[in-house]
Homo-oligomer: A and B are copies of this chain.
Amino acid sequence: MEKDSNRICLCPLEGIITTISKKWAILVISILGHHERLRFNDIMTTLEGISPKSLTDLLKELQRTCLVRREAFSEIPPRVEYSLTDDGKQLCKAIIPLIQWAEKRDNLHSKNCNATCQSTCCPSKRDI
- Report which A residues bind B (CB closer than 8 A): 1, 5-17, 20-21, 26-27, 30, 34-36, 66, 87, 90-91, 93-103, 105-106, 109, 113-114, 116-117, 121-122, 124-125, 128
* Cβ-neighbour of A12 out of B12, B96, B113 (below 8 A): B113
Copies in the complex: 2
In the complex, 20 of the A-B residue pairs with CB atoms within 8 angstroms, ordered by the A residue number, are A5-B34, A5-B128, A8-B99, A8-B103, A8-B128, A11-B113, A11-B125, A12-B103, A13-B26, A13-B95, A13-B99, A13-B102, A14-B122, A15-B102, A17-B26, A21-B21, A66-B109, A91-B98, A94-B101, A95-B97
- Cβ-closest chain B residue relative to A128: B6
